[in-house]
Amino acid sequence: MERVTLLPFCLALLNSIAATTVRESINVLQSISDGQVIVSPGKIYALGFFSPGNSKNRYVGIWYNEIPTQTAVWVANRDNPLNDSSGVLKLNETGVLVLLNHNKSVIWSSNTTGSARHPVAKLLDTGNLIVQNGNGNDEAKDLLWQSFDYPGDTLLPGQKFGRNLVTGLNRYMSSWNSSEDPSHGVYNYQLDITGYPQFVLREGTTKIYRFGSWNGVQFSGAPLLKQSDYTRFTFISNEEELYFMFEHTNKSFLHRMVLTTEGRILGTFWDNERKDWSLHARIPVDDCDYYGKCGAYATCNIDIIPPCQCLDGFVPKTADLYGGCVRRTSLSCHEDEFSPVSGLKLPDTERSWFSRNMSLEDCKTLCRNNCSCKAYAALDMSKGPNGCLLWFNDLVDIRKLTDVDEDVYVRMASSELKATEGKQLHKSNIRKYESVFIICVLFIGILILCLTFITLYKRLKTRQKGKMEGNLEPDVNVINEHESKDLELPMFELSTITSATNNFSPDNKLGEGGFGSVYKGILADGGEIAVKRLSMNSKQGLPEFKNEVMHIAKLQHRNLVRLLGYCLQAGERLLVYEFMPNKSLDSFIFDENKSMLLDWPRRMLIINGVARGLLYLHQDSRHRIVHRDLKAGNVLLDSEMNPKISDFGLARSFGGNEIEATTKHVVGTYGYLPPEYIIDGAYSTKSDVFSYGVLILEIVSGKRNKGFCHQDNLLAHVWRLFTEGKCSEVVDAAITESVHLSEALRTIHVGLLCVQLNPEDRPNMSSVVMMLSSESALPQPNLPGFFTSTSMAGDSSSSSSHKQYTNNDLSLSIMSAR
């Protein structure tokens, strides 16, 4: 009797001890109450109760254990929240996880199947919550249930994404309704098995994006997704399962794939240096990724304007280039032929037919004999063209891709095919003649260039010999030896830079401004550089040169351009930067044709990237740095259109508790300067916030603030539309097809908050970054600090101070009344 009496006491004591220690699992005798967590063995993930954002509701979920900002990767009761902290998660004797509310009613449970023997629930370092038999040795066999089979908005490395054809299990992603509401949103991303399997992103039932079909080597719609030393991905297709899975060899990095509330799929990794998530992949990427952009029988090519073109043998259906195409010549069934089309994302396979056990020649015969067959292609390219894929509906959602090595054979009237082949032959002959002509011209041109170069080289050698012998030592008055060592920045030899830039050849010039010119250079090891050469009459003198070197030398951030070195020899002042192949942002957003290459998602990436770069300067760098010349021309774009802030010649740093300074020498670029700086020479981090606000509005609208209108400027124009509730009219017409209007309106709102007249009203950059990424309510902005060209000039007859502004190589003198 004594043993029986003590048993409940012992069990209660064990439960009490378990509740006060960090656990990796629970059994049928244990539970998790609100405030308690279980943690994976490597302390990577935690499971417990949480409230997303400012929500009062409570959910059971899994999140990253050691990341400062709680980031959930899985939610159990996403559609059935608790409204208090009375919830309890338990594991019953049948191996079912149950979530109970204050009435002990079940509001969520796992659908565990199979016979359970001493079941236990464990949280693994993969982020997978599993329920398994506790006394078995075969983990796979003893597995009863796992959270990996029921993804939410996040997919983790090693997690299957697809379908089990035996059980009917569909592992798919669905967006949250908002950042504070994890219930099923309007977007879902899943494997569609109607026809040949393909991954499709939908808004409700409407297709938004198609990942393309697997051809044994790659997905036809994502040719850049390739195996690497860091990333491994798998696509399994057999009679039992169809699924995709990705893994990373470096387990110390946290990676995830997220379906956002706006309907984008983002691949991100945790950046320990920045303490934030960094983006390495996203879809849709551009306008051509959106489903059926150009209609039937038309390809979408993002590199041309307009992007839509009919396939050979087809003509536009309507005057609208996005309305699709129709056949120029009607088909006659058994006399038709097939025209191969290369380098395409395979058309939508929703209503296609396929066979894995058929040769490509038999596939052609099958398609020819069926008059309803519109096109055919090989199913598997892993061992040469093999298998058969047939289309019986219009060919839709086709885009041009350079890295896809597969042909689609489109049915065409024989007469049309002959005409097309004749046209192609004619083009081929023309190209041959053009090639011969070009070779002859190039040979003559090279010969002339060589003779000219030899002559110029001899003259230059003679001229530079005396000049460089007298002054090849660094100008120690600019950067002394102590400073040079502290910078840990190499000083390039002038001969190295002149060789890399072909002696500052005009052919190598990338651009020009008030400071001088920028040249592209190629070093002896093949590395590409950009060389900023300050001219003798540059508005950036030796102090500005030193200022730029000293400020940027030790700055390390993905959104700041990287300084590789400098040179001070023979009177030259040279800064050597990493090369940015896409030049500056202003060359895109203010150009009628190139602006179409920057769709809304790309513009948002640039807006967010510049914000993070400024936040680093203002808050996370060794000294608080104010850039003082932020503008579209000083935002450079790398090969993937990632933004990098450049040109620190006018930057100033604050030490200690300094937050503001004044100057009598006001410099900067007209259109980006805040009123307090123009009038009183006062500058602070809020000065950069104002410039950033102007930049936001320029990026969204595609219009310059300077010179927007002879009676007005962009800030005044946007403010007027904002007060009238017509902000949608601000959005650049070039991005109307890709823009997420609610996101654009929020971005405009943030821009107006940044350009408020009173610096104290403007948010700091940490608040700006949060406002851009969240969906919380925004404060109403006050009147922006905008000036028309007439109001800036003031009254020249009154007492005044002299202010100087630069606009590239243009200098303006403004008289402001005191």
Catalytic residues: 629
Q: What share of the chain is helix, strand, coil (3-state, %, to 5)?
A: 30, 30, 40
**Structure tokens belonging to residue 121:** 């629930």
Q: Residue 360 — φ and ψ, nearest 5°?
A: -65, -35
In Å, how far from its chain's centre is CA 795? Answer: 48
What count of residues does the chain have? 818
Interatomic CA distance for residues 546 and 148, integer angstroms? 55
Interatomic CA distance for residues 210 and 191, integer angstroms? 10
**Structure tokens belonging to residue 724:** 């009238």
3-state secondary structure 724-775: CCCHHHHCCHHHCCCCCHHHHHHHHHHHHHHCECCHHHCCCHHHHHHHHHCC
Q: Which residues are annotated as a binding site for ATP?
A: 532
DSSP E strands: which ranges in 284-382?
Answer: 298-300, 308-310, 314-316, 325-327, 337-342, 353-355, 375-377
Work out whether strand 25-27 and strand 31-33 pair parallel, antiparallel, or are unpaired.
unpaired
Cβ–Cβ contacts within 10 Å for residue 292, how many?
16
Cβ burial, residue 813 (10 Å; 0-12/13-18/19+): exposed
Q: Which residues pair with 140 in a beta bridge?
A: none
Q: Which residues are annotated as a binding site?
A: 532
CB contact at 8 A, 47 and 124:
no
**Structure tokens belonging to residue 715:** 């800030």
Contacts by 214-218 with C-beta closer than 8 Å and gap 24+?
A: 215/346, 215/378, 215/379, 215/380, 215/381, 215/382, 215/406, 216/379, 216/380, 216/381, 216/382, 216/383, 217/381, 217/382, 218/404
Place of tokens 């041109």: 445
Q: Residue 47 — φ and ψ, nearest 5°?
A: -125, 135
Place of tokens 């020009």: 512
CB contact at 8 A, 812 and 805:
yes
Question: Which residues does 372 contact at the CB level (< 8 Å), separation at least 6?
Answer: 392
Reduce the DSSP state of residue 647 to 3 states and report it.
coil
Cβ burial, residue 219 (10 Å; 0-12/13-18/19+): buried
Q: Which of 647, 632, 604 is nearest to 714 (CA)?
A: 632
If you write DSSP's letter for every residue of 81-135 in order, what string do you get? -BSSS--EEEE-TTS-EEEE-TT--EEEE----S--SSEEEEE-TTS-EEEEETT
Q: Which of 189, 124, 125, 107 is nearest to 152 (CA)?
A: 189
Type of residue found at 530: A
**Structure tokens belonging to residue 14:** 């064990």
Give kind and range of the element (H or E) at residue 345: none
Interatomic CA distance for residues 567 and 34, integer angstroms? 62
Cis peptide before 284 (omega within 30 of 0): yes
Place of tokens 């509740």: 19
